[in-house]
A and B are shown apart, each in its own frame.
Chain A
């Protein structure tokens, strides 16, 4: 049903992509058909961003682009020259986890963990957006992140706690 994209699919001409990745400047030769997701996972050595559906439906690939949450599977890497990309690997400060990461652990907000980095990236951004007050608003704002294990109640609790702690 779906056409699996080969991470190293030969686009026509590789171009040099320079952008800020988790706070440091990074540069890669990139063919046009490489998505931001595949660049991160296959070339930048950052597999924390997960490839779930690869079609913009599950949210596992959520990263921050210039501070805003977005889906890395639906973005061509070359369209992000000069942008600041933050992945789950870029959240912690040394050994000090980000408040949202700590909240997910404290509230047992995952089971298998596959969707968790996407959930956390989405949660970090939406707390920053400052629009979620009620649990229903959290659920609505997180509807782009699916969890097949069904950890939703604890995910909502973790996000509410991290919001209130912030």
Chain B
């Protein structure tokens, strides 16, 4: 690791000032992504600002809204009754991610900002437009079995790696962000940016802005949700494909639907087209398959990752069967 200054912040406002003062400074919450990438020399912050002691770790209900503090640990959120009961896909996604040790350290806010696992990003000897803007992308014609097929560009095909954000996308999560001009709340679906020709810019966060919470509205739709993760090992592995879905059934018809995909997109991938295929139809395999076809419409494989397209379709059908079965 390169040398850096370490400062403990005693308030969110102080933390934001400390980060804004030094270009490239980073917030430190659980450390699990940041320390790893600092050891790889991918992250080179001249200053690290410890926010882990700030009082932003509660999971609480206020009226119809469940508010998850940005510093809540993944394990605490996964086992919180408010989450297990009202947003099962979120609890399942959290428990499918990383290991028990990492979930005890990783925070919700930090998890949303987890960087891609693309090998060409994580190893500095390769060209990567995300790490070194304008340098090129060695993944395009490299070993790209794990790479994205949706939302890609000529500059970047790196997969968004997380599980939590996929489930949060399917339950219409909102991100609360504190900045110089006060607090703003945006849908998670507007938080991530497609790579386009600027893959180094991954989110709509501006310099010195801090995620302080994630908010979820309690709704029967989200209480009937499910997360399915398909990977090379049974545990402790990133998704090849994952599906977060929610259904509301009314008299044998799908009245409400949410569908989001992980492992296949450059960002958490919500398919409103697939949701529209489901809504108004009977919950059966033919409809699920049609929705799955729709969700992968326009997918663009590279040399090694074409298998993800059919894998994702089948995972969508299985996830929808599971969530509908739970509704019977």
Contacts and interface: CB of A to CB of B under 8 A. Distances in A.
**Co-complex (A, B):** yes
Interface of A: 1-3, 5, 9-13, 15, 31-33, 35, 54-56, 59, 62, 65, 68-71, 73-76, 78-79, 81, 122, 125-126, 139-145
13 contacts: A3-B40, A9-B1, A33-B3, A54-B39, A56-B32, A56-B35, A70-B101, A76-B31, A122-B100, A126-B100, A140-B234, A144-B99, A144-B100
Given A59-B101, A144-B102, A71 B3 contact: no
Q: What are the nearest 6 A-B pairs in CB distance? A: A144-B99, A32-B6, A143-B235, A143-B236, A33-B1, A68-B104
Given A32-B4, A56-B32, 5 more contacts: A31-B3, A71-B102, A74-B32, A122-B100, A122-B101
Contacts of A33: 1-4
A2 B39 CA distance: 7
B101 A71 contact: yes
B4 to A, nearest CB: 5
Given A9-B1, A15-B6, A33-B1, A76 B28 contact: yes
A55 to B, nearest CB: 6
Nearest to B4: A32
A15 B8 CA distance: 11
A32 to B, nearest CB: 4
Contacts, number: 102
B39 A5 contact: yes
Contacts of B144: none
Contacts of B5: 12-13, 32
A56 B38 CA distance: 13
Contact of B99 (A3, A54, A59): A59
B36 A78 contact: no
User: Which of B5, B39, B75, B123 has most chain A Cβ within 10 Å?
Assistant: B39
B216 to A, nearest CB: 24
A74 B36 contact: yes
Nearest to A35: B35
Contacts of A65: 104-105
A12 B39 contact: no
Given A69-B104, A144-B100, A144-B236, A75 B3 contact: no
A47 B248 CA distance: 55
A15 B48 CA distance: 14
Contacts of A145: 99
